[in-house]
Amino acid sequence: MFDRVADGVSAALWGLEPSSAVAFGMHHYDGTVPEPGEEALDARLGRLRLLGDRLAPPAGLDPAAAFDALVLRAAADRALFDWGPGGPRRRDPWSSAAPFDVRPYLARPYAPFGHRAEAAAALLDAAPEVLDAPVDGVPAPVLRRAVRRVGEAAWWLEHGLPARVRGAEDRAAAAALVESAQRAAAALGSYWARLEEALPSALPEAALGEPALQAMLTDGEALGIEVGEVRAGVGDPVAAAPAEEHPVTVEEVRGLLAALESAAGAVAPLPPGAGVRAEEEPLPEGRVVAVDVPGPLEEGERTVRCGVRPGAAASPAALRALLAREVFPGRALQALHHSAAPSEPLRRTASPAFTAGWAAYAAGLAGPDPLRVLDDARLLAVVEIHADRLPVGDAARRLAARAGLGEPAAAAEADACAADPWRWSAALGRRRIAACVEGGLSHDEILSHGAPPIGLLGREDL
């Protein structure tokens, strides 16, 4: 009975976001997008809510199944919060464009290139219809962030994708994919223009309210703390003096990754067959690297791919910290352990606070992490914008002071915190994981159950 409910909840979650299923390695979702429209979305949410209610309370289950039930229930609650009326994903125009990121299709050799290219092209061919939805009632900070992200996505499909498939053995499949990418880029460009046109009349602020943040803690991450305790545990971050930046090279990234991979075993064992490959990739302005990690349900090769934009500016310390977070011993190491979680339900979901928190925690083990100040500043900004209803412009000024950001970067970061309250996840998860380690949990124990809600870590009753 529980297995049937767990399968139903998983299918309902992937029905909401097939692109997430693809990222996890469920490739029978390749090339699919959800049926567009509010009515269809509400129907998918209704099914998820009905199935999720059957998971709680998990009475009568053995301890392992009870843990799985709590993990799945939290995943359902996160999705219902994000996509429900007024939720951050539902009100964000970027949610309509996000499914058209086809990099996992190109980075992972789970099937012949022609098969993957055909599925990616089918996905991109749906862009004109999906992106035809109206843009109404979107708060200005959310809209500004969507404008930036949609613009970057259109740029990558027009410039990055053709470069990625150049030289593919199946030239016909590559050419067809490039044609689909150009049409999708045009649809994204038209969508971008409509978002720009909506900005002058957009609502000025984007607060979700303190109850929403409390639901994220209690339901989404199974944490028994109040929002005020989150703020009190951070203090006021103090930015270090700006470090001198230099143009990044692929060779430099390869050297850093080799050193981090060698040292990763001191944090947690590197699974057999795991490795990392760095190569040049056209990326939008402001991006330094783009990392793709095989999903926990992915079969076959376990190679992490790190695309590098040569000439991107970064300080040596920031570049090392970024790679430590995104690859080893951070997100990639955690994701590779995720694939060895003891049950199927645990391999199907990931808590944002666990994944971002482990990346931030592990990067600190690899050396000084100048990005930690930004994590804490983001957490405070999320609380101040959504619980205190601080104007986003004031939040940007505080971010600039706390994290040492320039005015444009601080403004973009404040918009991001307004659009996506889960940006507090790195600081929130890092602190919880560090507390569990101080309480006696080993890294292997922390990584052994996938990426569960951080409130379930160290629970003696589970």
* 334 Cβ neighbours under 8 A, 6+ residues apart: 354, 355, 358, 359, 362, 447, 451
Separation between Cα atoms, residue 418 and residue 406, nearest integer Å: 18
Tokens matching residue 214: 């409390």
Separation between Cα atoms, residue 46 and residue 76, nearest integer Å: 11
Separation between Cα atoms, residue 54 and residue 69, nearest integer Å: 9
**Average pLDDT, stretch 98-118?**
96
pLDDT band at 461 (very low <50, low <70, confident <90, very high): low
Whether pLDDT at 462 is above 60? no
pLDDT of residue 302: 86
Residue with more model confidence, 188 or 459: 188
Tokens matching residue 65: 């199944």
Whether pLDDT at 8 is above 90? yes
pLDDT band at 57 (very low <50, low <70, confident <90, very high): low
**Average pLDDT, stretch 206-228?**
97
Q: By percentage, how much of the chain surpasses pLDDT 70?
A: 98
Give alpha helix (H) positions in 84-209: 94-97, 103-107, 113-124, 127-130, 140-155, 161-165, 171-198
pLDDT of residue 460: 63
**Average pLDDT, stretch 215-225?**
97
Q: How far is CA 119 from CA 24, 36, 53, 103, 113, in A?
A: 16, 19, 34, 12, 10
pLDDT of residue 84: 97
Task: Please tell me whether the peptide bond between 329 and the residue prior to it is cis, using omega within 30 degrees of 0.
Answer: yes
| pTM (predicted TM-score) | 0.96
**CA-wise closest residue to 102 among 121, 126, 89:** 121
Whether pLDDT at 455 is above 80? yes
Separation between Cα atoms, residue 230 and residue 424, nearest integer Å: 10
Query: Cα angle at 254 between 250 and 257, to 5 degrees?
Result: 135
pLDDT band at 71 (very low <50, low <70, confident <90, very high): very high
pLDDT of residue 273: 83
**Average pLDDT, stretch 267-276?**
90
Separation between Cα atoms, residue 77 and residue 221, nearest integer Å: 9
pLDDT band at 248 (very low <50, low <70, confident <90, very high): very high
Q: How far is CA 201 from CA 88, 135, 137, 140, 198, in A?
A: 20, 11, 9, 8, 6
Handedness of CA 208, 420, 14, 450 (dihedral sign): negative
Phi and psi of 267, rounded to 5°?
-95, -50
pLDDT of residue 249: 97
Whether pLDDT at 334 is above 80? yes
Separation between Cα atoms, residue 386 and residue 418, nearest integer Å: 7
**Average pLDDT, stretch 423-444?**
97
Tokens matching residue 191: 């969508």
**How does pLDDT run across 114-169, given as a tens digit for each residue?**
999 999 999 999 999 999 888 889 999 999 999 999 999 999 999 999 999 999 99
pLDDT band at 233 (very low <50, low <70, confident <90, very high): confident
Contact between residue 77 and residue 214 where contact means Cβ atoms under 8 Å apart: no
- Residues making up the chain, counted from first to last: 462
**Average pLDDT, stretch 73-93?**
97
* 229 Cβ neighbours under 8 A, 6+ residues apart: none
Contact between residue 291 and residue 306 where contact means Cβ atoms under 8 Å apart: yes
Separation between Cα atoms, residue 378 and residue 424, nearest integer Å: 6
Give alpha helix (H) positions in 28-126: 38-53, 63-83, 94-97, 103-107, 113-124
